[in-house]
Amino acid sequence: MSESSFNAIGDLFFTSSCSKWDIYELYRAVRAVYKDYIKSKGRYLPPLLGDFRAALQKMSNPRAEELALSLERFVDGALNTFSKPTNIDTGNSLICYSLSGLRDQMKPIGTFITLDHLLGRVMRNYKAGKIIFVYVDEFALLFQDEDTGKFFSNLWRRIRKYNGYCTGATQNCEEVLASESGRAMLSNTDFVVMLNQSPSNAQQLSELYKITENQRTYFTNTQPGHGLMKIGGAMIPFISTVPTDTKLYRLLSTNPREGKWN
């Protein structure tokens, strides 16, 4: 786990903000629980959150005992989602992570763990000479929390260096633009597809990308399939509609009013 995500998850798991001395204690516990696993070169099962708590309890240190006690609700309590072994093969070529079912209190932790796992998978694939594609639906939700937004924008920036390609989709870019890290992420993105936007969103995107008044008409109050592409410094209007009486349209459409979801 990277240091930034380790520190952030430490703050999320524990009731009070972690000091640098707390981080040292947590690192010691991590090294203790992973020692045998690393020596086995993956033959042993990876340690769980309960093993991590047990390592803190063995330190015979008052602060370590307090940290271990803070983990109780995440190990044995109602928030024990991440204290169990996974029931999927994380080495699969295609994996879908859904955070929608998590309780609100668990969403920041779940998001950090998922994004950190993704970044680790990207780096492992890079060393193996493999390319990885990451698709994030409704990524604006990640910017509802400042820390998860910063972590995602960091992943977005770093993934390109490791033969990774990240694609984000959202219907609410206003939430992303309201975040400093989200705005910086979008401003440094070379390929952007802008479909129909509300006037307020269109205004903010126009300011960010220096879009002219005439260009803005291509993605404001337009029909489905009409929009404007930003490719590097070029702005390209497009029309990409699919006839509604085709099988392709039926496969692609997500319009609930068309009745196929009944």
Rounded to an integer, what is the distance from CA 206 to the centroid of its chain? 26
Residues 159, 134 contacting (CB under 8 angstroms): yes
Structure tokens at 228: 């404007």
pLDDT of residue 209: 95
Percentage of the chain modeled with pLDDT above 90:
39
- Say whether 210 sits in a helix, a strand or coil: coil
pLDDT of residue 88: 83
Residues 11, 17 contacting (CB under 8 angstroms): yes
Residues 148, 182 contacting (CB under 8 angstroms): no
Indicate the angle between helix axes 180-187 and 199-209, nearest 10 degrees: 60
Distance linking the first and last C-alpha atoms of the chain: 43
Of 54-63, 106-115, 175-184, 216-225, the poorest mean pLDDT is in 106-115
